[in-house]
Structure 1
């Protein structure tokens, strides 16, 4: 069977733990055909982002047009956009119908702390989003108040829905170390109510690319025909398995990557 096409519009990560490289790994693990539009080139490893080289907005448009003409996707995810000019180019493509089932991961800061985006660039794309997937820090930056607890996350998801995205998932994986007994808690706005989704907390330093992988997995399931809530639940389980699989990996000296392909054989429930 011909695999469905899924598109990632994001930055390139030379360490291959996040960005376009992580997204393509997720798509391959899901037996989907992944295509890509590069918005920026980064020089980074597991420890830090050393440099960011933005791609010109016209080059981004050229990539989007080339794919739309021959390899149109069934779903799309965006990550790092880098500039308002690139955000305008991508939002223009969304407005014209080139980016169906759009999942917006509002990348603002890298795992190592490097700023990678600006809020007003992200906001240009939100009216066209099917799903928005900010973590607590990104939700805080967009809303202008500190999102901390699960109750805060639920409130933030409701408020962010006003930006235009039909569904909002505020992820709380960055909070788990503060209260591991609570597990990994995400807040999903479904258009009518907020659901708190709970999963296992995996103690590991290998967390680079969790947000990218989560949003990519949602887009992948949308391409396969899932409704958004089911796609989000799948993505949460996928990331938990990927974290557990890479739990003992020693790749690099900082925040290492995930086990996107299940190489470890561990299934996310703790069994081998």
Structure 2
């Protein structure tokens, strides 16, 4: 109920609301978890009918990649909710996914801007046609990743479900999944995880190995993941070519 806040605003007062906390179904005060302050701000903006929610942070907006790694990273003036959700899920830590999801669900524009400089930041909003003119909006790098591969799994329906059910039971968060059919009877399956989950994931797949008739299990802990994001890739070709050519050139 935003009525109390509206009354104070109508009196010309500045209203300060604590972020990062809420009330559960039993009316106990609880925290909202990671990104709770951003989420609080966006939900308040929606409840108050605000045109946009401004998130002040230590950077001047969303960049095409991490400016701490690549000094020539450019600031993005406008990005869609879906692109931002993708970037956030892939490691871009400027704003958390729940806040962006709330903005999308309640049609609240989010303006990410600097808390130390008076200049425009990045607007997160619904996709507009001109966004497709920008082929790649951003790139992310996730370090401290690991990869597990199951070689020669029986190629029958339900085996992948068994493997990932076992991983879920072990509370392992799985990122990218690749399954390749090597014959009519066998398939290879690999997936990416955070390196902190490697031991638990390895134990989980070892338990299911015989049930899915897996020939061998491979694990690597020296993996980094690079991702490119952009709605324009739906209508433009050659992005993968340029990406892999750049990686090959850099060896």
Structure 1 length normalisation: TM-score?
Answer: 0.21
TM-score (normalised: structure 2)? 0.22
Structure 1 or 2, whichever has the larger Rg, is 2
User: Could you say which structure has the higher strand fraction?
Assistant: 2
